[in-house]
Amino acid sequence: MDDCIFCMIARGEIPTHAVYEDDRIFAFKDLHPQAPVHVLLVPKVHYTGLNSDVPEELLGALLAAAPRVAALMGVADSGYRVIINTGPDAGQTVPHLHVHLIGGAPMSEGMVKLA
């Protein structure tokens, strides 16, 4: 999708602090972090959310990338949270499937609100 901000970031059209990249996934630091470590993992192909007939292989690739990103960010051993918001009532503000990886501090259930 040409005007999707996450598509533009994944294509390199908008500069960001890249953390990880492979042939299907691009991960970068969130501009408004909700924890000391807050990285967004986005598929390079546009899907609005989990309800968009996302191929299982892509979902698997997103989740498989999470521990790699956690290791790169230094939170693999201490722990991290992986969150996918789907739709406006869940707080999804960017209509592009993405995974939040947060960590770097002890968390409680209500610690963070993620878009």
The model's pLDDT over 22-73, given as tens digits with 9 standing for 90+, comes to 999 999 999 999 999 999 999 999 999 999 999 999 999 999 999 999 999 9
Which tokens go with 62? 């997103």
What pLDDT does residue 112 have? Answer: 54
How many independent structural domains does the chain possess? 1
CATH number at residue 58: 3.30.428.10
98 noted as active-site residue: yes
| Residue 47 domain flag | yes
- Residue 69 sits in which domain range? 5-103
pLDDT in tens, 67-110: 999 999 999 999 999 999 999 999 999 999 999 999 999 987 66
- Whole-prediction pTM value? 0.91
Q: Which of 38, 96, 98, 100 is labelled catalytic?
A: 98
| Residue 110 domain flag | no
Which tokens go with 65? 């990338």
